[in-house]
Amino acid sequence: MRAVVDTTYLLNLVGISVEKFSARLVEILQSPNHDLEIAICEITIFELAAKAAKPVAFESLDRERVLKGIESLRHDDSISKIEAYDRRVISTSLKLRSFLADFIDCMILAAALEYADILLTEDNLIHDLKRKKEFKELLGSTNPRFKIQRISDL
């Protein structure tokens, strides 16, 4: 089963501590216990850099730490990368924009809808979509078995 992971789960890679999640989370998800192929949308790499920019600017995060984390993610062949500017991803992102204000979230969700079975996210706004009729209709025409889950749901 292929799972797209949201940016939150990868923040530890660039030195932004998220106490709730282990820095080894991706490795744990790839273990035989979970049997998941992990993927990210390429826009996630941009979002990691954007989230790290403020603490780097205020010198509470080392720039080299961020660069090494991003490079390790880019070159990690165990994590599939879904092109952010793929036609299907952009098309679905544009549809999702009527449901979500954050276009980066639209792109991550669209990449998951188009190329995966699950989106792993803690984002409550994305989880709230599961109750919206219009989102259910989009889901039905795009990927009917698709799930939005939290890590704790696995």
Tens digits of residue pLDDT in 112-145: 999 999 999 999 999 999 999 999 999 999 999 9
Distance CA 97, CA 20 (A): 29
Q: How far apart are CA 62 and CA 73, in angstroms?
A: 17
- pTM for this predicted structure: 0.94
How far is it, in rounded angstroms, from Cα 4 to Cα 106?
Answer: 13
For the chain, the domains span 2-153
Q: Which two tokens stand for residue 40?
A: 């990210």
Each residue's pLDDT, cut to its tens digit, for the chain (154 residues) gives 999 999 999 999 999 988 887 666 777 777 777 788 999 999 999 999 999 999 999 999 999 999 999 999 999 999 999 999 999 999 999 999 999 999 999 999 999 999 999 999 999 999 999 999 999 999 999 999 999 999 888 8
Top CATH class of 2-153 equals alpha beta
Report the 10 Å Cβ neighbour count for 85.
10
CB 44 within 8 A of CB 82: no
